[in-house]
Amino acid sequence: MRPACPHCQLLLDRGSRDFFIGAYLINLIIAEVLFATLVGSIVYATWPAVTWDALQYIAVVAIIVAPLTTYPFTKTLWLAFDLSFSPPTARDRATTTT
């Protein structure tokens, strides 16, 4: 992820040490909802002959891949959420040294 937006120079890390805990929280929620939806859909589609062994392997892969895949998007989603409550100041812009 780039340190600042290439268009408006907004810093994507707002400097707070625990800023991205919110991104972790949103990532966990989205990944778990995706995971539950996937498993629920497979069970629903294959009921009553659910292949539980295959579902177990799919679930393990999905629960590892889902948070890794969604993390970059949830970081920017959390940044947008944070900016809605604390608008950017001049301090939040990258300065160019030319």
Q: Using CB under 5 A as the criterion, which residues of the chain lie in contact with Zn ion when the complex forms? A: 5, 7-8, 10
Min separation Cβ 12 and Zn ion, Å:
9
DSSP for 2-38, please give it: -SB-TTT-BBSS-S-TTTTHHHHHHHHHHHHHHHHHH
Lookup result for tokens 């177990």? 56
| Residue nearest Zn ion by beta-carbon distance | 5
The residue among 8 and 60 lying less far from Zn ion, judged by its C-beta, is: 8
Min separation Cβ 8 and Zn ion, Å:
3
- Look up residue 94 and give its two tokens: 């990258």
- Dist CA 5 CA 11 (whole Å): 7
The residue among 7 and 91 lying less far from Zn ion, judged by its C-beta, is: 7
Min separation Cβ 10 and Zn ion, Å:
5
